[in-house]
Chain A
């Protein structure tokens, strides 16, 4: 059974600071996704990581994947208040057919303060 763990579960950081969210998964996975969820809202796709060493960047967020360590990281550079949200990682294994069965982590609630 594929299990996904994120840490920390809650992160309070000051504007302008850097920090990293970690996502570990328990068994071989060939896909790793990062999502953002604002309070009371749905999930928005941020990054899709498909191979070992993959790195994607969008604005102040950068995601990477190390399949050997079964680890993905989401790095936040010079945080701003607009980044306050809950961030989820999700790992997937190919199902029979083409369904994309993803297992989600419990999420990291990020709060950026002035």
Chain B
């Protein structure tokens, strides 16, 4: 069966510090990978998605970047965090070439920028 791992679970970082969140998927090949952010009490906003190694699409211009160095690894980064980057970050995957596959989410990272 497929599993998705996301870490860390909680992170408190000062403004201006760098960020690296990592996500890995097991049990499937060539997944589509996604980063979503959920602000407190809000819905989910798609930040980035990737359909293959090195292929990153950005949905919203912002202070963040994403990379996919391996087939089942997705990384969310920032060089300098802003207060507005606080939120609940969720990594997700869908089956590659399976148009109707629902998103399968990791457990999320709760980021607080102070």
Contact = CB atoms under 8 A, between A and B. Distances in A.
B102 A101 contact: no
Nearest to B97: A98
A1 B107 CA distance: 29
A98 B96 CA distance: 7
**For chain A, what secondary structure do more than half of its interface residues adopt (helix, strand, loop), or is it mixed?**
strand
Contact of A50 (B34, B100, B107, B110): B100
Contact of B43 (A31, A40, A48, A105): A105
Interface stretch (B12-20, B44-52, B71-79): B44-52
Interface size class of B (residues with CB under 8 A): 20 to 34
Contacts of A88: 43-44
Interface residues of A, number: 26
A58 B43 CA distance: 24
B98 interface: yes
Nearest to A31: B100
Nearest to A46: B102
Contacts of A90: 44, 103
B106 to A, nearest CB: 6
A24 B9 CA distance: 33
Interface in B68-114: 90, 94, 96-108, 110
A97 interface: yes
Given A42-B106, A42-B108, A100 B42 contact: no
Given A88-B44, A105-B43, A107-B43, A100 B107 contact: no
A45 B2 CA distance: 14
B31 to A, nearest CB: 10
